[in-house]
Chain A
Amino acid sequence: MQVNEQTGFVPTIVAFCCNWCSYAGADLSGTNRLQYPANVKIIRVPCSCRVNPMFILRAFGRGADGVILCGCHPGDCHYTTGNYYTRRRMTLLCSMLDYLGIERKRTRVEWVSAAEGAKFAKTMRSFAEEIAALGPNRRLEDLRVRKSEPEGRVPDAE
C-alpha cells in the first residue's frame, strides 16, 4: 500500500485498462510476481476508447485521488483506431482539468502492451508515489457523497 509517510495519507487510485493490451499487461505483471501498490484498483474496459471522460470525473467525484488510463500502443489497437480517439479525448479532458485547477498529475494516460508486465508495474508504482505526494483530491470531490472520514485520510484542513 502506498502511503504518504509524512501525513499518513493513503491514496485511492483507479486504473482503466483495455482488455487486449493493458489488462493483459497487468495480468502479466501478476504472473511475473512484480509488485505494485494495492491502492491501484483496475477496471476492465474493452478498449481505452470506451472510457468516457465522465467516468474519470465520476471517479474523482467519488473520492479517487488519481485516475490512470492504459491502452494499447498507438498503432496497435485491437480495434485499429480506438486509442487514437482516446489520445485526443484525454488531451481535451486534461486541458479542461487544467482549467479547473486540478493538478495535472492526477490523470495519466499510458500505453502498455500485453507483453509489458514490467512497464505496467513500474508505471503503477510511480503513479501511486506521485499521487501520495500530491495528497488527497479535494477540489473534485463530490460533497454530497462524501463519506465519514475513512481511516488514513487526512482530516479536512478547512
Chain B
Amino acid sequence: MRKIGVFVCHCGTNIAATVDVKAVAETLGREPSVVVSEDYPYMCSESGQNLIKDSIRDYGLDGIVICSCSPRMHENTFRKAAASAGLNPYMVEIANIREQCSWIHKDKAEATEKAILLGKAAIAKVLLNTPLIAGESGVVKRALVIGGGIAGIQTALDIAEAGFPVDIVEQKPTIGGKMAQLDKTFPTLDCSACILTPKMVDCAQNENIKIYSYSEIESVSGFVGNFTVKIRRKARYVDETKCTGCGLCTEKCPVKKVPNEFNLGLDNRRAVYIPFAQAVPKIAAIDADYCNMLKNGKCGLCSKVCTVGAIDYKQEDTFVEERYGAIVAATGYEIADVSRYGEYAYNQSKDVVTSLELERLMNAAGPTGGTLLRPSDGKHPHTIVFVQCVGSRCTPDKGKPYCSKICCMYTAKHAMLIREKYPDTEVYVFYIDVRTPGKNFDEFWRRAVEEFGVHYIKGAVGKISPRPDGTLDVQGSDLLMDEQLHISADLVVLAAAIEPSKTARSLATMLTASMDTNDFFTEAHPKLRPVESPTAGIFLSGVCQGPKDIPETVAQASACAAKVIGLLSKDKLKGNPCVAHSDEMMCNGCSNCANVCPYGAITYSDKEFRMPDRTTKTRRVAWVNPAVCQGCGACTVACPSGAMDLLGFSNSQIMAEVDALCR
C-alpha cells in the first residue's frame, strides 16, 4: 500500500474563509493509504514547503496531494519541493480548491464538501501515478536556414556571430532574395542593394556560414536537437570550386533570348548567367532549358572561353546529408499572379506592371539603367496610375483575404521618387484605405501627398482598357467626390498581393510544421511565441510567417536567431515526461495513432516477440519518440487496442478521478 500525504493550504483566508480546511484535512486523513494530513496557512511559503519536505522524509511518503490554488500557479513549486526531499516530482497531485472551489462558492458547507471530493479525486489519481523521469536528448550544434533572403541572411549572421555553424539553403543561384531586386527602401529612401549586399558578403566571408546556393531541401527527418536533412544540390554545370565569376562565359554565350528572371522578364539574359553583379556566391550557372550544348550537344562556346576550365556539361544533381539541431524556415514570398484579374489588363498591355516590376524599371542596375521608361515603347510616361490592394483584402474566391501590409508604403515611395525625379509626371493612386502604421510611416505618405503632390483617390479601379494610341484608359470611382473618373494613363502599376513561396507548403509537410489557410507558417503562439513553429526545433523568420516589411523582417530574423542560439547553447534537452507511451504487447500496428499525431512523433518498426510456445513472431509496433511527443493524447483515444496511454494522464488515472468524483 502506498503512503500518501495530504497538505491543505489556507491561503490566508482565500481558502479558509469559505472552506473548513481543518475538516478537509481531517476527513482526507481518514482515507485509506493517507498516513499524514496537515493544514497550514501558506503551503507555498518556505515553512509550508519545509512541512511538506519533512513529512516526505519522516513518513517515507510515496505520493503527496496538495489542496491549494490552481496547478497552473504552484504545481512547479511543489514538484520542486518534492524533488528536493527525494520524491519523484511527478508523484505530486494538486486539488484545486481555491480558483475552482473557495472563490466560486459562498456556502461554507457546500464548499467544504466539494473540497473534500476534489481532494479524494486527487488521492485516487496519485495512487496510480508513476515516477516519471524527463528524457534527455543531445543537441547537434548546427543550424539550418532555409531561404537566403534578408530574413535568412540576418538569422544566419546572428547565429554565426554567436559561434554556431549555420548552413543556408537557397534555391536560386544567389542569395539576396527579393530585397536584392528592390530599388530604394521606405521610409528612409536608402538604396536597397547598398544595405543588403554588404550583408551578403558577410555571409560569404563568415567562417561559420556555409551557403548551399541553387539547392533544395529533399527530405527532413528527426526531431528537435537532432534533425537529419538531405539537400539536393542542383546541377549548375559550372564547377563551383573553379569558377571565379569573371563573367566571360556570360558575354560569349550565343543564346541571348532567355527571359531574365531577376528583372522579372523585362529584359533578356544568356543561357549561362550570373543573376546580378553582386551575386553571392558569384558563380555562373547554365540554364539547362536553353543551353544548346545541353539540349542538342552543339556549341560548347562557354567551355572554350573559360580560362579556368570550370564548365562541366556532365554535372549532375548531388545530395548532401547533414545533421542540425534547429531549422529556420525563411522561405519568404512571391508576387501573386495578377493576370487572373482581367479588368486590370495585365496580360493585354506591357504598360500594366506590378510594383516589383516597377522597382526593376527604376533601379539603376535594371533593364533601363534607372530611367523610368514604358516597357512597350521605351518612352517616358507622363501620367502614372497606381492601383492598390490588387488581390489583397479580397473574398477568398477572388484573392487573398489578408492585407499585404507593405503596398501602401512602397506605393508612396514610388510616387514620391517619380515626382522627385520627373516633376512633369502626374501620379494618381487609387486606394481603399491607406495603412501606414510604423515608425515614420504616416509622416512619409503625408509627405508624398503634401510635398510631392501625389493625387490620392479613395476608390477602386473598375476597368483598364488599352487604347489604340498606346495609352491606357483607367476607369475608376472617387468615393469621396462620388464621381466616376477616366484617366488616360501611360503606365499603370498594380500593387499586387504578396503570397507565401510556392515551395512553402511542401517544405512545411517535410518539417511537420503547421500552416494557416493562406499557406503562411503558423507560430507557436500568435503573441507570446511569434518566431517558433508549434513543432519543436522549427523556427520562423520573415514573411513566411506573415506579411512584413524589411525592418520587421530583420527584427523577427534576429529574434528567431536568439531562439535558435538558446536552443543550440544547451547540451541536453529535457523533455516533458508526460508523453504518450505504447504497450508493444498490445499494439497491432494499425497506424491509427500515427495518423492523428500532429507532431509526427510516432514511428513503426518490426519487432520480434517471444511467444509462449517458444516461437518468435515478428510484428509491426508503434513507438513514440518522447522528444517529439508533446503529450496531447490524441493517439490514446484513436488506439483501438488500448495500447497507447498517456503518462501522467493515463486512462486508469482519469477513470479513478471520475470514480472518485461520482461517488
Contacts and interface: CB of A to CB of B under 8 A. Distances in A.
Interface of A: 1, 12, 14, 19, 23-24, 26-31, 33-36, 38, 41-47, 49-55, 58-59, 62-64, 78-82, 85, 89, 121, 147
A30 B662 contact: no
15 contacts: A27-B99, A30-B99, A30-B104, A38-B101, A38-B110, A41-B661, A44-B71, A50-B632, A50-B636, A50-B646, A52-B636, A55-B655, A59-B662, A62-B663, A79-B630
Given A31-B99, A36-B104, A47 B655 contact: no
B123 to A, nearest CB: 14
A43 B658 contact: yes
B246 to A, nearest CB: 51
Interface centre among A1, A42, A50, A51 (most CB of B within 10 A): A50
Contacts of B514: 80
Nearest to B646: A50
B306 interface: no
A63 B598 CA distance: 35
Given A23-B72, A24-B72, A14 B658 contact: yes
A1 B107 contact: yes
B632 A46 contact: yes
A23 B94 CA distance: 13
Contacts of B407: none
Interface centre among A12, A46, A81 (most CB of B within 10 A): A46
A38 B596 contact: no
A62 B663 CA distance: 7
B646 A89 contact: no
A47 B631 CA distance: 9
Contacts of A28: 99
A31 B661 contact: no
Given A55-B654, A81-B598, A1 B104 contact: no
A58 B107 CA distance: 30
A27 B100 CA distance: 6
B534 to A, nearest CB: 6
A80 B661 contact: no
Contacts of B101: 30, 38
Interface of B: 70-72, 96, 98-101, 103-107, 110-111, 113-114, 117-118, 121, 514, 522, 534, 578, 596, 598, 630-634, 636-638, 646, 649, 651, 654-655, 657-659, 661-663
Contacts of B98: 30
Contact of A46 (B72, B111, B117, B646): B646
A114 B43 CA distance: 26
A58 B655 contact: yes
Interface centre among A14, A30, A53, A147 (most CB of B within 10 A): A30
B72 A14 contact: no
Describe A's contact surface by its main secondary structure. mixed
B632 A42 contact: no
Nearest to A81: B598
B636 A41 contact: no
Contact of A82 (B106, B634, B654): B634
Across the A-B interface, give the 4 residue pairs with the lowest CB-CB distance, nearest first. A30-B99, A50-B633, A79-B632, A62-B662
A45 B110 contact: no
Given A23-B72, A38-B113, A64-B662, A45 B633 contact: yes
Contacts of A47: 632-634
Given A14-B662, A34-B104, A35-B106, A49 B634 contact: yes
Contacts of A41: 114, 117-118, 121, 661
A31 B514 CA distance: 34
Given A52-B651, A80-B598, A81-B598, A42 B100 contact: yes
Contacts of A14: 658, 661-662
B269 to A, nearest CB: 43
A26 B637 CA distance: 24
A52 to B, nearest CB: 5
B644 to A, nearest CB: 10
Contacts of B70: 23, 27, 30
Nearest to B633: A50
Contacts of A79: 534, 598, 630, 632, 634
Contacts of B117: 41
A61 B428 CA distance: 73
Given A12-B661, A46-B633, A51-B637, 17 more contacts: A28-B99, A30-B98, A30-B104, A31-B103, A35-B105, A38-B107, A46-B646, A46-B649, A49-B637, A54-B651, A55-B658, A62-B658, A64-B661, A79-B534, A79-B634, A80-B514, A80-B522
